[in-house]
Amino acid sequence: MKQTASSSKRSLLVPGLALVMLVQAGLVVASYWPDSNAAGNKPWLSFKAADIDQLVVSDGKQSTHLLLKDKHWTVKELNLPADEHQIQEVIDTLVSEKPAWPSATTDEAATRFKVAEKGFERKVELKKGDTDEAVVYLGTSPHYGQIYGRREGDKDIMNISFNAYQAPADAHDWLDKSLLKVTAQPTMVTLPGLNLEFLKGNWQITNQPAVSLDNPKVDELVNELKELMVIGLADDKLAATLNQSKEGFVATLAVKDKAYHYQFRPSGDDWYARRDDMPQWFKVSTYPANLLKQPDLSKLEKAAPAKAAAADSSGTATAAATPAAPVPAAPAATPPDNGATAQSAN
């Protein structure tokens, strides 16, 4: 009886202990389970993108300071227009990010993932005036389209949707590539050996005998100058060399109330251009430079009608205008004389 009672107590105790352990496990899981309001739904940065008017990007070796002034972004180091779409994309992406939960929280992990204060891929300061709204460290990538990120003063290392190349530290990479673009309709263009004028909706050549031009073809050539894209910027040493160079060519593009004068200079296999309203030499693509250097007039003319087609058309018209001579009719057949035939037979 005593053994039976002891066994009975043990049989009750085991389920009880199991239940206690289950409850404790549930409490542990619940305490660490990501709260929908705290993770995956809460913005990583607690301010609006429109609040930011300064951006400083560094890779530990060089940095770029971007400023919003009079509703336009500028690269402070170059004092030139910045690519506003590129800047806005960086700010919007970081501000709208809602990471689920930390990938790690230790100092060792921050060093390993390169999001530490003294070891990072990118450090991005988002400012409102001179006040830091946030400073974030961006590190290595766990996989394509993702990067480790950590806010300054926070140990949580998040996995965010971003790429380091979106935030370069070189000032030249933030330049507005279309800063030489002219938006107004050109009224006159001069290139080596070719002077063009836009009159009454048509392009005309003013320095050569009258030639019938194909407007769309001329527009293609003019647009190479009108929409000249910038690739980079010459450093001070190269700029000094280009200033002394006598190679290259000049071009002019005029609009209704202004004329832009360009200088093009080669440097090795590259081309650089400078416009009279900007002192800098900009690296440009070799393709438009070569087209503008030696414009091919034969490719701008309207196609002449084919000679064969013209001759055929002329012959057809002559034949239609001159009627063919009538063909003489054959003489009518003479019917036989029946009486003569009968007499001969007799």
pLDDT tens digit sequence for 93-110:
999 999 989 999 999 999
91 confidence band (pLDDT: 50, 70, 90): very high
**Exposure pattern of 49-85 as b/e (b: 16+ CB <10 Å)?**
eeebebbbbbbeeebbbbbbeeeebbbbeeebbbbbe
Region of residue 279 (left: phi > 0; alpha: psi -120 to 50; beta: else): alpha
pLDDT score recorded for residue 7: 52
319 in any annotated domain = no
Residue 145 lies in a domain: yes
In a domain, 122, yes or no: yes
- Percentage of the chain beyond pLDDT 70 is 76
Is the residue at 323 inside a domain? no
Least confident window among 5-9, 194-198, 208-212, 236-240: 5-9
The whole domain housing 266 covers 188-299
As a whole number of angstroms, the distance between CA 341 and CA 304 comes to 75
Q: Does residue 208 share a domain with residue 110?
A: no
* pLDDT band at 164; cut points 50, 70, 90: very high
Same structural domain, 120 and 152: yes
The pLDDT of 306-317, averaged and rounded, is 50
Task: Check if the beta carbon of residue 138 is closer than 8 Å to that of residue 146.
Answer: no
Q: Do 122 and 86 lie in a common domain?
A: yes
Is residue 161's pLDDT more than 60?
yes
- The last residue of one of the domains, among 111, 144, 174, is 174
pLDDT tens digits, 230-272 = 999 999 999 999 999 999 999 999 999 899 999 999 999 999 9
**Count of C-beta atoms within a 10 Å radius of residue 290:** 13
How much is the pLDDT for 30?
A: 46
The Cα–Cα gap between 311 and 317 comes to 10
* Residue 218 within any structural domain of the chain: yes
Residue 144: is its pLDDT beyond 50?
Answer: yes
**118 in a domain, yes or no?**
yes
Task: Count up the domains in the chain and report the number.
Answer: 2
- Higher pLDDT, residue 305 or 259: 259
| Boundary residue ending a domain (280, 299, 318) | 299
145: left (phi > 0), else alpha (psi -120 to 50), else beta?
left
User: What pLDDT, in 10s, does the model give residues 31-88?
Assistant: 444 443 445 568 899 899 999 999 999 999 999 999 999 999 999 999 999 999 999 9
pLDDT band for position 117 (50/70/90)?
Answer: very high
Query: Is 22 contained in some domain?
Result: no
Mean pLDDT of the chain: 84
Mark whether 119 and 215 lie in a shared domain.
no
Q: Is residue 6 part of a domain?
A: no
**How do residues 313-334 score in pLDDT, each as one tens digit?**
555 444 444 444 444 444 444 4
pTM for the full model? 0.72
